[in-house]
């Protein structure tokens, strides 16, 4: 059933095409040769008109160039004034003064920034503990050094490492003496 519907639709489209385009194609094929000659002559005449237009454009461009040259010659040149050069010298002197002041302020700013961002000396990390010291003290010392490290990012502790270190360094808690569940 579907195949039959498809064939009918394709046939209708073909018949529509033949009825709409057929007469135009037949007329074109039957067109006399003289019409073709007239079309070619009309095209040649338009190209000749284009050549005339191009030559007219070239003439107008030459006239425009002449007018511009006359205009440039007619404009008087303004002589440089002595006061203008004095103002220029004053502006250059002020500019040099401002450049020197900017450089001084930039150096002062850099010195202040380096002073502000210095790591303050840490009281807990001033001396390394002895080798036979409490393991927690040694762990605190090395943790503080890693936390305050000014080295590259890879020298610092990760969040997980920092959390684990805090668990290790946590002080011992005292048990509640009044806890009823505590064994005596």
Q: Is the pLDDT of residue 124 over 70?
A: no
pTM (whole model) above 0.85: no
Domain interval for residue 146: 135-169
In a domain, 14, yes or no: no
Cα four-point dihedral sign 144, 141, 113, 153? negative
Out of 23-27, 51-55, 167-171, pick the least confident: 23-27
Domain end point (choices 74, 94, 113)? 74
In a domain, 9, yes or no: no
- Burial of residue 148, with CB atoms counted within 10 A of its CB: 0-12 exposed, 13-18 middle, 19 or more buried: middle
Q: Is the pLDDT of residue 180 over 90?
A: no
CA torsion 175-179-180-184 (nearest 10°) is 40
Domain count, the chain: 2
Kindly report, residue by residue over 79-120, the tens digit of the pLDDT: 555 567 889 999 999 999 999 999 999 888 888 877 776 655
Q: How large is the angle between the packed helices 159-169 and 135-147, nearest 10 degrees?
A: 150
The closest alpha carbon to 156, from 144, 170, 166, 139, belongs to 144
Please tell me the total number of residues recorded for the chain in this structure.
Answer: 184
């Amino acid at each position: 059933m579907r195949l039959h519907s498809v064939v009918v639709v394709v046939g209708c489209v073909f018949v529509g095409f033949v009825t709409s385009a057929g007469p135009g194609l037949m007329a074109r094929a039957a067109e006399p040769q003289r019409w073709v000659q007239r079309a070619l002559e009309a095209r040649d005449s338009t190209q000749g008109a284009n050549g005339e237009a191009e030559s007219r454009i070239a003439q107008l461009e030459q006239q425009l160039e002449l007018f511009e040259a006359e205009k440039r010659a007619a404009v008087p040149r303004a002589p440089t004034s002595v006061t203008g050069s004095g103002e220029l010298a004053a502006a250059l002197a002020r500019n040099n003064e401002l450049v020197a002041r900017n450089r001084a302020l930039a150096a002062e700013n850099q010195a202040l920034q380096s002073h502000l961002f210095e790591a303050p000396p840490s009281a807990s990390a001033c001396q390394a503990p002895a080798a036979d010291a409490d393991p927690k003290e040694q762990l605190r010392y090395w943790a503080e050094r890693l936390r305050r490290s000014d080295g590259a990012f890879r020298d610092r502790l990760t969040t997980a490492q920092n959390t684990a270190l805090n668990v290790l360094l946590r002080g011992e808690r005292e048990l509640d003496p009044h806890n009823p569940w505590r064994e005596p």
